[in-house]
Chain A
Amino acid sequence: MPELPFELPPLPTIQQVIFVMIAILTVLGALVVVLARNLFHSALGLVTAFFGAAGVYVVAEAEFIGVSQVLVYVGAISTLITFAIMLTRGMMFGATSPRNRQSGTAAMITILIFLVLTALVGAIPWPQAGEPIVEGQAIIAGLGRSFVNEYVVPFQLLAMLLLVALAGAIVLARDRK
């Protein structure tokens, strides 16, 4: 058997294959958001991207975050976005152009964010999981414990923040007479 000039990469594990599939799905969804001529289709693309993000969380063994992602982003936020689209005349049917004067600026900012994120991912010394992650149940319980022990002040502040958001929602959405 002749020596190869380079070493063959190891076969991808099934998790890696699934991750790549999910990643492709996410990127495709994101592309639809940007490129679709119909605003509702953009919203559907966004939902696909949200699902993909949830899938990435699950593959990373963060099931709770993954399920929360679906619950909050797919269930609530995309519904809100759709409502907002439908409440606005003109936006509902008929094509909108994905291009306008801000395309150039937007592209530049996006590329910048991409570069910064890539640099960050490369720079951070990620902790290597030496042993398999503890049981999923314990992770969720640990999360719950830290909400009411170490992070009790941020937790209460969060409740206040949500209360303020609620008040803001009422002020914004109430019919002005």
Chain B
Amino acid sequence: MNWSDALIQFQYDLGAPQELSWLIEGITYFIGAFILANAALVLALLLIWITRKVVSRIQDRIGPNRVGRYGLFQTVADAVKLLSKEDITPSTADKVSYLIAPVLAVMGVLMALAVIPFGAGLVGADLNVGVLYLVALGSIGIMAALMAGWGSNNKYALLAGFRVVAQLLSYEIPMVLAMLAPVLLVGTMSMQGISQAQSLYLGPINLGLGWFIFLLPGAFLIYFISALAEAEQTPFDLLEAESELIAGFHIEYSGMKFAMFFLAQFLNSFFLGAIAVVLFLGGWQGPFAGQIPLLGPIYFLAKTFFVYVVIQWVKGTFPRVRVDQMMSFAWKVLVPLVLALILAQMIIMKLPTPMWLNYILVLVANLAVVVAVLNILGKYFQREQVRSKRAFEPKSLIGVMQPARPASGD
């Protein structure tokens, strides 16, 4: 049973006239969209709290713990503080783009809610083009970054705007191609369809464990790395780089307008995680989710929060990459690998060999991609480690600290 059908039926039961069906539908959709969007706002507060807690634990700190239990209301206090800040518009800014940019940034992210399936029958709009719709929303974020960078009329903002657009464009290609792998397997772009396909029946019982990550780990890894870049999360946060640049394209923003960019970024990481859950981690599927519908949303949210925490873990652990490294990793590693993967999957799944053998071959191809990516990353981090060690160890000191040789001749 779909939530909207149930709600529409409920209104008719209350005595709503049949001829106003468009209005009834509109009211239903409005209720759904309103609840979703506002839940997302509350969620953002929780996400910021999680980020701060996880990162502080990694850095051996306690993190927020004063406001409310476990510091849970710290972000609420922060939001109130931002609300009471002065709303500054630089006098040289281009008013139109400067004002529209934060609105557009939030809009592009919130609209992703429409196609995310939270459970069986719990999806805002089960679009036939769901996957592509999500990718298309990314272009709104690109426009917002460009408008903010240009509208601020600030050198840093404009430079950062250029950089963020180059990064988003570069990582969009491997991300979309990685999203193609599950679509190729299921034959639909609908998010609900992809969720449903990841069931695993043991007799009549749906174990809900036919997750695509077990078959397509390579595509998942490439999606995950690209999603980190799309969400501007730490290994790829070079356009924000608090310690190097000043803030990125939103340097000239203050108060609520700044908060909007902040909100958009955190929600974007969460939603990209949610997309990963739908495409590769079974969505709302899980043991007995078919029998007890309530388990669906619980599974979905649990998995998504898990992915979000992993993203924050990565954020707390890895060093930032350079621009040239970021670009060449996208175009010289991810894109060729994911193209080869798609090519292999296309051909293997049509081979006249038995189906189980095809699945194993696809898995082998994916594992090869995982090994390749991890190898390249491992080599890179090894190099970085050597480089940073050299940078921090003055040569003279190394000389002094060598153990004294016993003088010869004694």
Which residues of chain A have a CB within 8 Å of any CB of chain B? 13-14, 38, 40-41, 44, 47, 63-64, 67-68, 70-71, 74-76, 78-79, 82-83, 86, 93, 135-137, 140-141
User: How far is B127's CA from A80's CA once the two chains are assembled, in angstroms?
Assistant: 29
CB distance from B352 to the nearest CB of A (A): 18
CB distance from B374 to the nearest CB of A (A): 30
The answer to whether B140 and A137 have CB atoms under 8 Å apart is: no
The answer to whether B139 and A141 have CB atoms under 8 Å apart is: no
User: How far is B142's CA from A124's CA once the two chains are assembled, in angstroms?
Assistant: 39
Q: Residues of B contacting A41 with CB < 8 Å?
A: 96-97
Q: Residues of B contacting A141 with CB < 8 Å?
A: 187
Q: Residues of A contacting B140 with CB < 8 Å?
A: 74
Known contacts A137-B190, A140-B189; A68 and B132 CB within 8 A of each other: yes
For the complex, is B362 an interface residue (Cβ under 8 Å from A)?
no
The answer to whether A38 and B190 have CB atoms under 8 Å apart is: no
CB distance from B189 to the nearest CB of A (A): 7
Pick from A38, A79, A136: contact of B165, CB below 8 A: A79
The answer to whether B142 and A79 have CB atoms under 8 Å apart is: yes
Known contacts A40-B150, A79-B146; A137 and B128 CB within 8 A of each other: yes
Q: Which of B131-173 contact A (CB under 8 A)?
A: 132-133, 135-136, 138-140, 142-143, 146-147, 150, 153, 158, 162, 165, 169, 172
The answer to whether A64 and B132 have CB atoms under 8 Å apart is: yes
User: How far is B140's CA from A64's CA once the two chains are assembled, in angstroms?
Assistant: 18
For the complex, is B356 an interface residue (Cβ under 8 Å from A)?
no
The answer to whether B143 and A78 have CB atoms under 8 Å apart is: yes
User: How far is B127's CA from A63's CA once the two chains are assembled, in angstroms?
Assistant: 9
Residue on A with the closest CB to B141? Answer: A75
- Most B CB contacts (10 A, CB to CB) among A38, A68, A75, A140 go to A75
- Most B CB contacts (10 A, CB to CB) among A14, A67, A82 go to A67
Residue on B with the closest CB to A47? Answer: B143
Q: Residues of B contacting A74 with CB < 8 Å?
A: 136, 139-140, 143
Q: Residues of B contacting A40 with CB < 8 Å?
A: 94, 97, 150
4 A-B pairs closest in CB distance:
A75-B139, A136-B128, A70-B136, A14-B22
User: How far is B158's CA from A63's CA once the two chains are assembled, in angstroms?
Assistant: 34
Known contacts A75-B142, A79-B142; A63 and B187 CB within 8 A of each other: no
Q: How large is the interface on B (under 10, 10 to 19, 20 to 34, 35 or more residues)?
A: 20 to 34
Residue on A with the closest CB to B172? Answer: A75
Known contacts A82-B146, A137-B128, A140-B128; A38 and B94 CB within 8 A of each other: yes
User: How far is B138's CA from A38's CA once the two chains are assembled, in angstroms?
Assistant: 26
User: How far is B140's CA from A99's CA once the two chains are assembled, in angstroms?
Assistant: 31
Known contacts A14-B22, A79-B165, A86-B162; A70 and B128 CB within 8 A of each other: no
The answer to whether A63 and B143 have CB atoms under 8 Å apart is: no
Pick from B96, B97, B135, B162: contact of A71, CB below 8 A: B135
The answer to whether B150 and A63 have CB atoms under 8 Å apart is: no
Q: Which of B58-113 contact A (CB under 8 A)?
A: 94, 96-97, 100
User: How far is B144's CA from A74's CA once the two chains are assembled, in angstroms?
Assistant: 11
Contacts A44-B147, A70-B136 aside, 17 further interface pairs with beta carbons under 8 A come to A13-B22, A41-B96, A41-B97, A44-B96, A63-B127, A63-B129, A64-B128, A64-B132, A71-B132, A74-B140, A74-B143, A75-B139, A78-B143, A79-B139, A79-B143, A83-B165, A140-B128
CB distance from B203 to the nearest CB of A (A): 29
User: How far is B97's CA from A138's CA once the two chains are assembled, in angstroms?
Assistant: 40
Q: Would you list 5 pairs from A and B whose C-beta atoms are within 8 A, ordered by A residue?
A: A47-B143, A67-B132, A86-B162, A136-B129, A140-B129
Pick from A47, A67, A79, A86: contact of B129, CB below 8 A: A67
User: How far is B128's CA from A136's CA once the two chains are assembled, in angstroms?
Assistant: 6
Interface string of B301-321 (1 = CB under 8 A from A): 000000000000000000000
For the complex, is B188 an interface residue (Cβ under 8 Å from A)?
yes
The answer to whether B189 and A86 have CB atoms under 8 Å apart is: no
Q: Which of B115-138 contact A (CB under 8 A)?
A: 127-129, 132-133, 135-136, 138
Pick from B136, B158, B189: contact of A75, CB below 8 A: B136
User: How far is B139's CA from A75's CA once the two chains are assembled, in angstroms?
Assistant: 4
Residue on A with the closest CB to B127? Answer: A63
The answer to whether A44 and B136 have CB atoms under 8 Å apart is: no
The answer to whether B127 and A71 have CB atoms under 8 Å apart is: no
Q: Residues of A contacting B189 with CB < 8 Å?
A: 140
User: How far is B148's CA from A40's CA once the two chains are assembled, in angstroms?
Assistant: 12
The answer to whether B129 and A44 have CB atoms under 8 Å apart is: no
Q: Residues of B contacting A136 with CB < 8 Å?
A: 128-129
User: How far is B359's CA from A43's CA once the two chains are assembled, in angstroms?
Assistant: 48
The answer to whether A71 and B136 have CB atoms under 8 Å apart is: yes
User: How far is B186's CA from A137's CA once the two chains are assembled, in angstroms?
Assistant: 12
The answer to whether B169 and A79 have CB atoms under 8 Å apart is: yes
The answer to whether B150 and A86 have CB atoms under 8 Å apart is: yes
Q: Residues of B contacting A14 with CB < 8 Å?
A: 22, 26
CB distance from A66 to the nearest CB of B (A): 8
CB distance from A142 to the nearest CB of B (A): 12
The answer to whether A67 and B136 have CB atoms under 8 Å apart is: yes
User: How far is B138's CA from A63's CA once the two chains are assembled, in angstroms?
Assistant: 17
Q: Residues of B contacting A38 with CB < 8 Å?
A: 94
The answer to whether A71 and B94 have CB atoms under 8 Å apart is: no
CB distance from B239 to the nearest CB of A (A): 15
Residue on A with the closest CB to B151? Answer: A40
User: How far is B189's CA from A136's CA once the two chains are assembled, in angstroms?
Assistant: 11
